[in-house]
């Protein structure tokens, strides 16, 4: 019976967000008394928007992949942990015996927090619950306790929802996504990091004058400041660093230019379907819960990672990340499978810095260093989790696997250390809580007396 439930959940989750999200959105629309035709059209439009987004992301990863491999080969370094990227981690998470419980637990937590007015996020992105399931799986394998595993997943869920609420007003205004929050664990946790880094840079003379957001670049450099031109130029530079031949350099430039040009249009299609439906749902809820205002629909971080500023910052940091992996002592993972997805953690940093590419790149460097060390440290545990569910290792995998970004996520690392009784992890609780509260108080100055973001 238990295995049948696990199999049923795995089958449902195998559809992926581009199928699952429209189904959930449609069911929600009908439940909240949106007309059948409007709910169906909106749900399908959202699904089509996500198909477009993932097609462009595939283009990004397929274009960058060979360049990354070439740069790694040129470095002459062979590190023992294979970076498989995040997809295998998602598969491992959903195959874990606690995954079905975590999914139900996450829904219960979301509903309870909404009823208690502890969150404004209605997280419909069921597929991305794998982030919470993976956190729980790591704790479960590290401690052998299902209770600790579920507790770890619950803590990760609550932290993510609160960070999604905190960043939502910035998402609305700076990314042009009204009514949306982004409760993706792998990105949301970096919003306060971006805020803190932005404030530190503000205090550094000279550096605080550098502003390189897409609008200012376009204004200063004309046609060469257009997002597609930035993509072409950065693609050519990466191709040269990878020592590609001329044709491959040009192809990489064109492909990255296409990513920068097409992705925002795919997001517009998605929002075309989401906005009418989300407004109808919010109006329905606010009529019955008049004190619960400004509810947001929780979506995948994919809706902003194609922003030209996000992609530009990520492309700048790709060769820097490889260099750091080569020169940092104690790092045993070479970024490969996850490196094209460096846009994910950087996305919330760009939100915090108001799309300032230079500031975000500077803030991104210590983030990368931390991820490299945490991913190296967690590699044996992630490998054990994979082996515990008889996961079939990728061809060419060494004795250990992990993901450079999701496998080096600071919150998951902290949860594992906390569950194992690390005194350092315990001490960080009040320290980090105080720092986060201080950063939160700083952001209150960004709003006027009506609660609107000033920018």
Six-digit token string for 225: 């400041």
Q: How is 234-303 classified by DSSP, letter by letter?
A: HHHHHHHHTT--HHHHHHHHHHHHHHHHHHHHHHHHHHHHHHHHHHHHHHHHHHH-TT--S-EEE--THH
Percent of the chain with pLDDT strictly greater than 90: 34
pLDDT at 300 over 80: yes
Residue with tokens 């874990």: 96
**Residue predicted with more confidence, 185 or 281:** 185
pLDDT at 366 over 90: yes
pLDDT per position as a tens digit, 52-76: 888 887 888 788 888 888 888 887 7
How far is residue 164's CA from residue 5's CA, in Å, rounded to a whole number? 30
Six-digit token string for 446: 């960004």
How far is residue 150's CA from residue 139's CA, in Å, rounded to a whole number? 8
Q: How is 383-415 classified by DSSP, letter by letter?
A: HHHHHHTT--PPTT--SEEE-TTGGG-HHHHHH
Segment 448-452 shows an average pLDDT of 73
pLDDT per position as a tens digit, 177-191: 888 899 999 999 999
pTM of this structure: 0.87
Whole-number average pLDDT of the chain: 85
Angle at 59 between CA 173 and CA 274, to 5 degrees: 35
**Residue predicted with more confidence, 394 or 193:** 193
According to DSSP, residue 223 is labeled G
Q: Are 10 and 133 in contact (CB under 8 A)?
A: no
pLDDT at 91 over 70: yes
pLDDT at 396 over 60: no
pLDDT per position as a tens digit, 116-147: 889 999 898 877 888 999 999 999 988 989 99
Segment 155-164 shows an average pLDDT of 96
Percent of the chain with pLDDT strictly greater than 70: 89
pLDDT at 375 over 70: yes
**Residue 328 CA: distances (Å) to CA of 51, 79, 333, 347:** 38, 12, 11, 25
pLDDT at 213 over 70: yes
Residue with tokens 């060979």: 66
Contacts of 10 (CB under 8 A, 6+ apart): 94, 95, 99
User: What pLDDT, on the 0 to 100 scale, is given for residue 394?
Assistant: 59
Least confident of 185-199, 290-304, 322-336: 290-304
Closest C-alpha among 315, 314, 353 to residue 211: 353
pLDDT per position as a tens digit, 100-117: 899 889 999 999 998 888
Segment 5-19 shows an average pLDDT of 66
Six-digit token string for 201: 């840079």
- The pLDDT confidence band at residue 269, using thresholds 50, 70 and 90, is confident
User: What pLDDT, on the 0 to 100 scale, is given for residue 290?
Assistant: 67
Contacts of 435 (CB under 8 A, 6+ apart): 196
Residue with tokens 């491999």: 69
How far is residue 133's CA from residue 215's CA, in Å, rounded to a whole number? 39
Six-digit token string for 283: 């109006």
Six-digit token string for 272: 């075309």
How far is residue 226's CA from residue 68's CA, in Å, rounded to a whole number? 25
- The pLDDT confidence band at residue 292, using thresholds 50, 70 and 90, is low
């Amino acid at each position: 019976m238990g295995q049948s439930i696990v199999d049923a959940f795995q089958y449902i989750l195998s559809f992926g967000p581009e199928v699952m999200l429209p189904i959930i959105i449609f069911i929600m629309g009908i439940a909240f008394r949106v007309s059948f035709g409007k709910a169906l059209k909106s749900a399908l439009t959202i699904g089509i928007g996500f198909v477009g987004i993932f097609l462009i992301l595939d283009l990004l990863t397929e274009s960058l992949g060979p360049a990354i491999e070439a740069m790694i080969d040129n470095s002459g370094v062979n590190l023992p942990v294979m970076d498989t990227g995040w997809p295998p981690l998602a598969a491992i998470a959903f195959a874990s015996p606690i995954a079905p419980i975590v999914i139900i637990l996450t829904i219960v937590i979301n509903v309870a927090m909404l009823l208690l007015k502890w969150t404004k996020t209605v997280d419909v992105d069921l597929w991305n619950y794998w982030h919470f399931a993976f956190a729980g799986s790591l704790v479960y394998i590290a401690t052998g306790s299902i209770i600790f595993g579920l507790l770890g997943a619950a803590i990760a869920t609550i932290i993510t929802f609160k960070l999604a609420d905190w960043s939502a007003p910035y998402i609305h205004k700076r990314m042009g996504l009204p009514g949306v929050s982004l409760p993706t664990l792998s990105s949301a946790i970096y919003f306060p990091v971006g805020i803190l880094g932005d404030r530190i840079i503000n205090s550094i003379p000279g550096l605080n004058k550098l502003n390189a957001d897409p609008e200012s670049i376009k204004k200063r450099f004309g046609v060469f400041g257009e997002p597609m031109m930035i993509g072409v130029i950065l693609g050519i530079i990466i191709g040269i660093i990878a020592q590609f031949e001329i044709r491959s350099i040009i192809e990489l430039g064109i492909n990255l230019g296409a990513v920068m040009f097409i992705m925002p249009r795919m997001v517009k299609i998605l929002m075309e379907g989401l906005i009418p439906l989300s407004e109808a749902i919010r109006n329905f809820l606010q009529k019955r819960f008049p004190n619960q205002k400004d509810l947001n629909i929780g979506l995948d971080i994919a809706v902003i990672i194609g922003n030209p500023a996000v992609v530009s910052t990520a492309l700048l940091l790709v060769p820097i990340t490889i260099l750091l992996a080569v020169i940092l002592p104690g790092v045993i993972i070479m970024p490969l499978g996850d490196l094209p997805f460096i846009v994910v953690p950087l996305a919330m940093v760009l939100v915090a810095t108001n799309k300032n590419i230079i500031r975000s790149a500077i803030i991104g460097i210590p983030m990368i260093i931390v991820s490299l060390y945490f991913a190296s440290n967690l590699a044996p545990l992630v490998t054990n989790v994979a082996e515990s569910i008889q996961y079939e290792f990728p061809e060419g995998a060494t004795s250990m696997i992990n993901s450079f970004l999701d496998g080096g996520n600071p919150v998951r690392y902290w949860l594992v250390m906390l569950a194992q009784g690390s005194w350092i992890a315990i001490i960080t609780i009040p320290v980090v809580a105080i720092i986060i509260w201080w950063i939160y108080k700083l952001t209150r100055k960004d709003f006027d007396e009506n609660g609107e973001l000033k920018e």
